[in-house]
Structure 1
């Protein structure tokens, strides 16, 4: 199938068959703290410790990400409201508390300094060098086929 004839909605449905975790990527700027929900997150390298976040060019937080430190907050199963809040559907009351640029209660945190930025078509690919991280046990919030879901425990 050629690029010009590809059904973008069907391609998105195909991508959706890959189950992912859910993160909120946050940063601080002169105008305050900003964040966006992202499931396009992956580890890249252990040496040096690098991660990648893919950010839609239409996202309001995009300008604040450029050349800026950021935190990847890996969400728990109980943080669906937080994911929705940062996905452009503000929740009332606000379903989270800040701890610097971290979202309190998240399953894991990766504090990153900017490493590289790449053109990713309708997205910008931000690679960050992990400078601090924390994690704890718990169940992650997952996303599959356009919906939040749970990770089934191993038998």
Structure 2
């Protein structure tokens, strides 16, 4: 059986376990690329399978699509991403993940206090209004700050 050099969107979906609609979405976001046949059908290079695997793993650990796109842009277009490529990409994301883990740890500790106090006050709540930093702006929705909580 000859080695297939290109995959249709259906073949890519079947082999990667990703829905066709998700593959189209990845393409519109610049994460993967295809060429069009004379009949206007998408064809993907075989290395797209590995790129889709990288996207799925990165998404699973919470890496934003824009960050994934930037990382994939550093890979050569003419070959399958290697273990060394993955090591380089994942190392770039490690600091971001460590910061998120620290933030979630702080949030978890504060959440316990919030549930225990039962104040439900946006003016006094340490979770929604840490150190009363936003208290002068009055009641209402406030943004979360990565460095606090």
Which structure has more relative contact order (CA 8 Å, sep 6+)? It is: 1
- Structure that is richer in strand per residue: 1
- Structure that is richer in helix per residue: 2
- Which of the two has higher C-alpha Rg? 2
Q: TM-score, normalised by structure 2?
A: 0.21
